Structure 1
Amino acid sequence: MSSLPSLADVKVDHEGRIIWPYILEAERAALKVASTKPGSKYNDPLIGIRVLGFLLQDLWLHDRHSFGLIPYKNLIKHITSGLSISGYAVRGKEESKARSKNLQDMGLYYRNHLIRVFRSNGGPIPTCSDHPSRQSLDVVRDRILSEMKTPTTESSARANALMRDGYRCMLTGHYDFDSVILHPELEDRITANDTSSVTQCAHIFSETAQDGEQKSEYAASAMTILEIFGLNNKAENLVGSNVHKYFNILTMRSDLHVLFDRLQFWLEEVMGEEHTYKIVSVKDKLFMTAIGRRERVTFRVDPDVAAACIARNSDPPSLPSPSLLAIRAACSRVAHMSGAAEHVDQVLRDLEDTPVMAQDGGSAHLLETRLLQLLHPVDDTKP
C-alpha cells in the first residue's frame, strides 16, 4: 500500500489541488486511528481515503482515453459535495473529524462497488469438453452467428468468444486445448511454433452476482462505476444475460483468467492503434515471463468469422469494449496503489483460516470488514 502523494507532488489540476489538503487530512486521521490499534491488519478508513485519492489522481493522469476529463470532473464534484458539512453544529476539531469521515466513507463506497464489479471469485464457465457434440467448425460458426440476436447464456458465452477469437487465447495466441480435441480440423492451423492451453471466458465486468437480490446490488455497483465515467446508459447492458455479450468477454488462458479476476494485470489502450493494448501487471517481471514477454496485444475478429459475416451481410461480433477495458484498467491501478486489492486478498485468506464466529471475539473485526466489502455499500455518500 502506498501513501498518498503530498500537495507538492500530487499530479492533479487546480481544482484537485484545492481539495487535496482535505484528502491528506483524512489520511492522517485514518493513520492516527491505526496507530492506536497496534497489530491490527485492517484499517478500512485508510483504504477508503487512499482509494479516493488515487482514483482522483489516476483519472487526471489518464485523460487521453475516450472519456477525456469527464470522470475526473465527476469525481471532483462528488468530493466537493462531501466537503459540505454546514449542517454540523460544531466546528474546529469536530468539523475536521466529520469531514474526514465523509471522505473516508466516500472512498469505501467506491471500493465496495469496485470489488463487486471487478474482483470475481466465481468459478470458470464450462469448457467445450462439457459439450460432447463434434460438429465441424463451419457448422458451429454458422449456428452461433445465426443466434447472435438471441439472449446469451453463461454456457454459450465461452463458445461465442472462442469462435470470434479463432479458438485462441486473446493474450498469448495459445489454441484452446479442448477445442482442438473437439474440432480436429483446427490441427491444420497449428504450426510447430503454436501451443495449446486450457482457456476460459473472462469478463471485463464480473459475471458474478447476477441473480435475484444480488442482481439489483450488482446493477447498483455497475451504475456507480459507469456513472463516474459518464456512461450511465451502459449499466443496463451489464446486468443479467447481457453481461455475457461479446463486448464484455475475452478468451483467456485459464491461469491468466485467475490473475485478471484478481486485478493482477490489466490492459491499457494504445492511442492511435485500434483495439491495441499495453499489457500492464503489478508483478511485471514475473508476469511477463508467464505471458511469454508480450508487452502489447491487438484484438481482431477471426478472419474466417469476418468473411462468414460478410457473406451473410451481417455485422461481425463485437470485440472487447475499449471503454470498459479503460474503466477496468483505472480501477485496477487504484486498487493496487491504495492497497484495496491486497486488503481483499488478505481478508479472503483469513476467512479460509479463521473461524468467523470465534468464541473469544477475535474474528469479529474480520467479519465486519468482510461484510463492509461485499454487502451493502455506504448509502449516505452516494453521488
Structure 2
Amino acid sequence: MEKVDSYQPVGPNDKTVSILQAFHTHLPADGRDNFLKHLQSLQTNQQLYDHAQLLMNGLVAPLRSLRSTPSISPRLGMEDSIENIASESTGPMVRESRLKSECLTRDGSRCVVTGYFDEDSLDPSSTRTTVYTECVHIIPFALASWRMDSEEYAKNIIWTNLLRYFPILELINFKREDINNAKNAMTMSGNLHRHFGRFDFSFEATAQPNRYRIQNYRPRMATELPQTVTFSSYDQRYELPSPDLLKVHAIIARIFHVCGAAEQIEKALCDLGAHRLLARDGSTDISSMLAATTLGVLGSRAGNI
C-alpha cells in the first residue's frame, strides 16, 4: 500500500486513496489477495486513479443503482475472465413470481426485518400490523437481465469483479442463473427494500447462526430498524438467505460508505435530477453521475476524461 500512501490527488473530489484503502481494509482475505496482486502491477499516479474508478464504477456504484444502458471498457487483463462469464450465460433472465411465493412461505408471510405481516397474506378482518412486501434480491436481479449486447457486456464486467474480489461466490457455486434462488432473496417491506438496495443498511453476521446485527448507515432510520434480526424458516423446502451472499452485500455497503462514495454519488444524483446541467463552477462529479445514473462503468482510461 506504499504506492497508495504516496499518491498525489488530481483534484478536490479525488477519492482514490480512500477507495483503495477501503477495499484493502474490508475485502475478505482471498479477495484482498487478488486486490493486492493487481495493485502491485500499477506504477503511475494515473494507473492508481483509473483502478480506483474501475473498482467504484465497475462494482460498488452499479450494485447500488443498476439503471439504463452502460458504456464500458474493462481494464487490461480482464478479457479472458469476461469471456468465461459470457460463455456460461444462458441469456437474460426474467423475474419469477414463484420466488416471492417461496419467500413468503419460508418467511412466515412477514417482513424479515420488522416482523410485520404481508398485507395480502392476511384476512382483511385481521387487526395485526401489516405492510406491503416485496421480494428482495441480495445480489441484484438486474445483474441477470439486459436488453442489448452492450448491457450484457457491462454486467459481465461486474460479475468478473464480483468473482475476483469475492471468491466465496465460486466456492458456494453461486452463478448468475442462481439469481432467482430463495437463498438470494427475502421478504421485506417496499420501503425497506429500497433502502437495502441503496446500501442504507446491511446485515452483519453474529456468532449465532442466522442472527444478524443491523448496520444502519442512515441515522434517521433508527426507529424503523431493530438492532438485530433472526431469520427463521417456516418451510424447510426453501433455503434461508445465504450468510455468504449477505456478507458480500454488507462488505460492499461498508466500502461504499467508508470511502466517501455515498456523499459523492448522492450529490451527482441531485445534480442530475435537479438541474440536468453541469455546475458552472466545475463541481459536478461526472464520474459518479455516470456510475449512478447509467451504470456507466468508466473504463481503464477514465482519468483522461
Fold-level match, TM-score > 0.5?
yes
Summarize deviations over 1:125-176 as a string: whole Å, max 9, x none: xxxxxxxxxxxxxxxxxxxxxxxxxx97343332221121111001111101
Preserved CA contact (<8 Å) 1:269 1:322: yes
Decide whether aligned partners of structure 1 residues 169 and 375 sit closer, same or farther in structure 2, where only a CA change above 3 A counts.
same
1:333-352 alignment, distance < 5 Å:
333-352=254-273
Q: Please report how far the alpha carbon of residue 113 of structure 1 lies from its aligned counterpart in structure 2 after TM superposition.
A: 2.5
Question: If the length of structure 2 is used for normalisation, what is the TM-score?
Answer: 0.78
Question: If the length of structure 1 is used for normalisation, what is the TM-score?
Answer: 0.63
Match of 2:161 among 203, 217, 224: 224
CA distance in 2, matches of 1:108, 1:350: 20
Q: Where do 4+ consecutive residues of structure 1 move more than 6 Å?
A: 360-364
Q: Is the helix fraction higher in 1 or 2?
A: 1
Task: List runs of 5+ in structure 1 lacking aligned partners.
Answer: 1-18, 35-42, 60-66, 86-97, 123-150, 307-315
Q: Please report how far the alpha carbon of residue 274 of structure 1 lies from its aligned counterpart in structure 2 after TM superposition.
A: 1.2
1:266 maps to 2:202? yes
1:186-201 alignment, distance < 5 Å:
187=126, 194-201=128-135
Q: Which one has a bigger Cα radius of gyration?
A: 1
Task: List runs of 5+ in structure 2 lacking aligned partners.
Answer: 68-92
Amino acid at match of 1:110: L
1:1-383 alignment, distance < 5 Å:
19=1, 21-26=2-7, 29-30=8-9, 33-34=11-12, 43=13, 46-59=14-27, 69-82=29-42, 85=43, 98=44, 100-115=45-60, 117-120=62-65, 153-181=95-123, 187=126, 194-209=128-143, 210-212=145-147, 213=149, 214-231=151-168, 233=170, 237-239=174-176, 242-271=178-207, 273-284=208-219, 286-291=220-225, 294-302=226-234, 305-306=235-236, 316-356=237-277, 369-371=288-290, 374-379=295-300
Summarize deviations over 1:298-323 as a string: whole Å, max 9, x none: 11211xx23xxxxxxxxx21111111
Preserved CA contact (<8 Å) 2:19 2:52: yes
Which is bigger in relative contact order (C-alpha 8 A, separation at least 6)? Answer: 2
Instruction: Count residues with an aligned counterpart.
Output: 272
Secondary structure in 2 matching 1:268: strand
Decide whether aligned partners of structure 1 residues 234 and 218 sit closer, same or farther in structure 2, where only a CA change above 3 A counts.
farther
Preserved CA contact (<8 Å) 1:118 1:204: no
Decide whether aligned partners of structure 1 residues 207 and 165 sit closer, same or farther in structure 2, where only a CA change above 3 A counts.
same
Secondary structure in 2 matching 1:318: coil
